[in-house]
Amino acid sequence: MQAFFQTIQKIVESSGFVLLFQNLGYLAMILVACGLLYLAIVKKFEPLLLLPIAFGMLMANLPGSGIIHMEFFVDTPTGYPLWEKILQEGGLGDLLYLGVKLGIYPPLIFLGIGTMTDFGPLISNPKSLLLGAAAQLGIFFTYVGAILLRFQPNEAAAIGIIGGADGPTAIFVTGQLAPGLLGSIAVAAYSYMALVPVIQPPIMRLLTTKEERKIQMRQLRTVSKTEKIVFPILCTIVISLILPQSAVLVGMLMLGNLMKESGVVERITKTAGNELMNIITIFLGFSVGCTTSADTFLTWRTLGIILLGLVAFSVGTAGGVLLGKLMCWLTHGQVNPLIGAAGVSAVPMAARVAQKVGQEENPQNFLLMHAMGPNVAGVIGSAVAAGILINLFK
C-alpha cells in the first residue's frame, strides 16, 4: 500500500500542476495565450498567424511539456545552436524552430506572397516607390527610441523592423539579430498589423486637410504582360547586387511573382500560394509561439517592445503621408496624400484603409488601386531595410 502511495505522490510531484504553482509566471503566460486566442478567434485579429502563435505560447508554458528547449539556441557557450543536443534531445518545437533560426520560413512565406501580389499599380506609377521608402521612417525612428530605452543595438534594430509592418520580415531579422526577443516582437508585429485600421486613420486625418483627402487621382496606365514579367527579374538583380543581405527575401518574393506573371507554371504557382504557404504559416506561427516562455516574455522589455511597436507603426504611417503631401504639392494636387499611409507594408489592409478614409470625404473617390502601388512598394522597402539592418548589426 505504501508503495502505491509513494508512486502516486511521485506522479503528483512531477505533474504540471505543482510546477505551475511553483512559478506563477506560467499561469500568467497561459492567461496571455488565452487572451491572444480570444483576439484571434472572436475578434479575428490576423487569425492565420495569431492563432498558431497563441497556441504555441500556451504549449510552451505548460510546465514539463518540454515542447522546445530555447537553451539549445540562445546564449549558448559557442554562440551557435547546440546541434548535437537538438538532434539527440530536441522535439517537435526544436525542429520546427530551426526554420526560424536558419531564416527558412520567412522567404518561403514571401514566395507565396509573391504569387498573390500584383505589381501592376506600382509599375504604372513608379513614383509610388518613394512613398514605400518614406514609410520605412518608422523602422529607423524606432531604432533610436529602442536605444534610448537601453536595448542593445542589435535588439533595437530587431524592434525597429516592426515598423515595416511585415511579419515575415520582422521574424527574419529578429531570428538573425535578437532571437531572444522573437516571441515578443512577433506578437507585437502581428497585433499591430491587425490594428492597422484603428492606428492609421487618426494619423492620416491629423496630417491631411479635407481638400487633400478629397483629391481624385487620374486613372493608371495599362501595364503590359512583358513589363510585369521583366519587373521581378530586374528588381531581384538590382536589389541583390546592391544589398546581398536582402537577396533571399526579395528574390523569393520576386520568384513567386514571376511564376504568377509568366503563367507557364500554374501548378507550382498554386502550390506556392496555397498549400506550401499554409504549411509554412502553421510551422512559423507555432514555433514562434513556442519561444515565448514566462522568463523571456513577462518582462518590462516586452512592454517596451509593445510600446515601441506602436511608435513604429505610427511614425511609418506619418512618414508616408508627409511625403504624399509633398508629392501633392509638387504635382499641384494630382496625388492624394492618403495613399502614402499605404507605404507601410500590411498588404492589402493599409491600402484598404487609404481607400476607406478617402471615400469618407468623397464617395466618388476610388483610391484602392493607387494605394496598392505604395503598399507593395512597402514590402520591397521593408525587405531592403531588413537587409541594411542585418548588414549593420550581424
Site residues (CB under 8 A) for other proteins?
A: 122-124, 126-127, 129-130, 132-134, 136-137, 139-141, 143-144, 147, 153-154, 157, 221, 223-224, 226-227, 230-231, 234-235, 238-239, 242-243, 377, 380-381, 384-385, 388-389, 392-393
Q: Provide the minimum distance between the beta carbon of 373 and other proteins in the complex, in angstroms, as a whole number.
A: 11
- Which one, of 139, 140, 119, 138, lies nearest residue 129 by Cα? 119
Comparison of 226 and 364: residue with beta carbon closer to other proteins: 226
* CA–CA separation, 215 and 194 (whole Å): 27
- Best CA proximity match to 191, nearest among 167, 159, 160, 161: 167
Residue 144 Cβ, how far from other proteins at the closest point, in Å?
5
Residue closer to other proteins by CB (options 77, 363) is 77
Dist. CA 239–CA 125, nearest whole Å: 19
Q: Give min distance, CB of 153 to other proteins, in A.
A: 4
Provide the residue type at 306 as one letter: I
* Cell 542593445 belongs to residue: 152
Q: How far is the CB of 319 from other proteins (least distance, A)?
A: 9
Picking from 110, 121, 116, the residue whose alpha carbon sits closest to that of residue 372 is 121
| Burial (CB count within 10 angstroms: exposed 0-12, middle 13-18, buried 19+), residue 307 | middle
**CB closer to other proteins out of 107 and 381:** 381
Question: Half-sphere exposure (CA, 13 Å, Cβ side) for 101?
Answer: 20
Q: What CA–CA distance (Å, rounded) separates 308 from 163?
A: 9
Closest contact distance (angstroms) between CB of 191 and other proteins is: 24
Q: Tell me the CA distances in angstroms from 169 to 158, 246, 260, 337, 358, one per residue in order.
A: 10, 10, 22, 26, 29
Q: Which of residues 60 and 137 has its CB atom nearest to other proteins in the complex?
A: 137
Count the helix, strand and coil residues of the chain and give each as a percent rounded to the nearest 5: 80, 0, 20
Give the H/E segment covering residue 223: none
Please state the closest distance from residue 361 (CB atom) to other proteins, in A.
Answer: 28
Nearest distance from C-beta of residue 192 to other proteins, angstroms: 20
Q: Which is nearer to other proteins, 35 or 126 (CB)?
A: 126
What's the min distance (Å) between Cβ of 394 and other proteins?
A: 8
Q: Which is nearer to other proteins, 294 or 377 (CB)?
A: 377
3-class DSSP state for residue 135? Answer: coil
Identify which of residues 29 and 159 has a Cβ nearer to other proteins in the complex: 159
Nearest residue (CB) to other proteins, 232 versus 256: 232
